[in-house]
A and B are shown apart, each in its own frame.
Chain A
Amino acid sequence: MKNVDVRGLSCPAPVVSVKRALEEGGGELRVLLDDGAPRENVTRFAQGRGYSVQEEKTEGGFALTITGSAELKTQAHSGVAAGPTVLLIGSDRLGDGPEELGRVLMRNFIMTLLEVAEPPDRILFLNTGVLLTAAGSEVLEALEALGNRGVEVLSCGICLDFFQKKELLAAGGVTNMFTIAESLLGARSVVRL
């Protein structure tokens, strides 16, 4: 059985770590985590994906044993259907036209992802798109909620550096062009905004 220790990590990192471990396969997964939001979010995420979850109290936290999901196993072995769905956000605006309207539309789009049945597996933020993941962004609450549903949020490190936002990243993690390229080329589908 594979072990994942996410104690001490704040949301949505526990869900993202568990999701990654499940995607890598290996049958049963034992997750050590803190009580409260991490325990609730990971349980909800795993059950939502068709896994069964058993929990036991441990010293200073909880251990979840996550088993079985025919849905994901089928997906992983069906060739064409494998790989994540990726949303590439290369701007803080959606569409051409007035900048103010474009920013409102992009914010509205990201918040609306919370309402769709199948959000993307991963969202990559590039260029001015990284302004959406930095402190002061209006969509941080939505990105955290998406993270708790298993959506991986990654921002381009070069872009954060360019806009002097490296220290101000407030949602998800930093990534590099290798990961971005691999994500795009290995994706089941890519939606570019």
Chain B
Amino acid sequence: MVKDGDYVAIFNSIHRVMEAEKLLKGLKLAILLIPAPRALAADCGLAIRYAEEVRGEVETALSQAGLLPGELYRKSGEDYTKVEGDL
């Protein structure tokens, strides 16, 4: 479900991740609610996947709505690299 270069946002709250999905789908952004990859522990087990092309729009919308994820990762080969710093 996650391709090389994709971003995976972890929210650690089922309510926040569902709210974020509703917001982003409403904006017609190409995102997908997915099971959180096993390598990335998340209490609610859900995450939002998106590609580089929509990253700016996704994160701007989440920021404006006060829904930024707890953690953000990028798939790199078989691994996930944590994206550090302000989103």
Contacts and interface: CB of A to CB of B under 8 A. Distances in A.
A131 to B, nearest CB: 16
A104 B18 CA distance: 8
B1 to A, nearest CB: 6
B59 to A, nearest CB: 21
Given A100-B18, A104-B46, A115-B38, A141 B33 contact: no
Interface residues of A, number: 13
Interface of A is mostly: helix
Contacts of A100: 18
A72 interface: no
B35 interface: yes
Given A111-B1, A141-B1, A104 B33 contact: yes
Contact of B1 (A101, A104, A114): A114
A138 B34 CA distance: 9
Given A100-B18, A111-B1, A141 B32 contact: yes
A107 B17 CA distance: 14
Interface of A: 100-101, 104, 107-108, 111-112, 114-115, 138, 141-142, 145
